[in-house]
Amino acid sequence: MVVLVTGANGQLGQSLQFISEHYSDIQFHFYTSTELDITDNKCIREIFTLIKPHFCINAAAYTAVDKAEAESEKAVLVNVTGAKNIALICNEFSTVLIHVSTDFVFDGIKETPYTEEDTTNPQGVYGKTKREGEIEIIKHLKHCFIVRTSWLYSSFGNNFMKTMLKLANERNSLNVVNDQIGTPTHAVDLAQALVKIVLSGSQNFGIYHYSNEGKTSWYGFAKEIFNINKTIIDLNPIPTSEFPTPAKRPKYSVLDKSKIKTEFGISINDWKESLRLYK
């Protein structure tokens, strides 16, 4: 089984590399965004011709949520054009695509977990480009799994957990938003779920949701990070109105995982459990 992974230098790409040695039946090929530029069709085709992948896990994305508001062309190029390019070439090579998307495709006005059938209504450039990328993939490729996730963190790359621990070393107190509700998801857990899809042999293609179980606020997430790491800091909950950002974020973006658990027999950790395991 040959699996090509794009975006190998991101936290999901690094998490896939971290677990890859445990899957001897899979021949992984990892490419960074420099080595495989998904906005360059010629580059993609050359690599597909070279390794002839059975699966492509597209972990390459423009993920700078706030910067996207000022850099919409860059976000579109990677998240929309790049997604379309990958889909077209996967179709050409009969490669199954596993594409990673986001909870930011929803507007956050719901108060119960979002299912795959819920109407999307992204509020910012990042969410809009990720949704447009989903649409392009579905339009051009039948054999694809789109996996939406939320609040990704790990020991790799840049993420909320690492930012909190860094700031705690620099400051005596921190203010963190307490009225945005979602689910922290460890990138290693997501990586293992994606590999399980690869190994499943399933042809029930379509959109799936994956995050850890449970829900919390960014303040609750920060509090648990500091508790587990025995970090002493004055942590204060604040409303979103006191921490304005260029991009509007969903007030509620908990994902319903029933579909992915049923289809692939995936057991999902509670977010606190994963945080303790992988701190």
Which pLDDT band, with edges at 50, 70 and 90, does 278 fall under? confident
- Residue 40 CB neighbours (<10 A): 12
CATH of the domain at 100: 3.40.50.720
Q: Is residue 11 part of a domain?
A: yes
In this structure, how many other beta carbons lie within 10 angstroms of the beta carbon of residue 279?
13
Annotated catalytic, 219?
A: no
Active-site pick, 31, 62, 114, 126: 126
Q: What is the structure's pLDDT at 279?
A: 60
pLDDT of residue 268 exceeding 70, the answer is: yes
What angle, 0 to 180 degrees and rounded to 10, lies between the N-to-C axes of helices 83-93 and 41-51? 30
Looking at every residue in the chain, the average pLDDT score rounds to 96
Amino acid at 12: L
User: pLDDT tens digit string along 164-174?
Assistant: 999 999 999 99
Residue at 234 is within a domain: no
CA distances from 164 to 88, 222, 273 (A): 40, 7, 18
Beta strand 144-149 with 234-238 is unpaired
The rounded distance, in Å, linking the Cα atoms of 195 and 185 is 16
Residue 204 lies in a domain: yes
Domain tally, the chain: 1
Q: Taking residues 141-168, report their average pLDDT.
A: 96
Residue with tokens 């069709």: 41
pLDDT digits (tens, 9 = 90+) for 119-135: 999 999 999 999 999 99
Q: What is the pLDDT of residues 192-234, one digit of tens each?
A: 999 999 999 999 999 999 999 999 999 999 999 999 999 999 9
Model pLDDT for residues 66-116, shown as the tens digit of each residue: 999 999 999 999 999 999 999 999 999 999 999 999 999 999 999 999 999
Give domain status of residue 95, yes or no.
yes
Q: Does residue 256 form part of some domain?
A: yes
- Asked, for residue 47, whether it belongs to a domain, the answer is yes
Boundaries of domain holding 84 = 2-158+183-214+249-269
Q: Of all residues in the chain, what percent carry a pLDDT higher than 90?
A: 98
Residue 186 pLDDT greater than 90, yes or no: yes
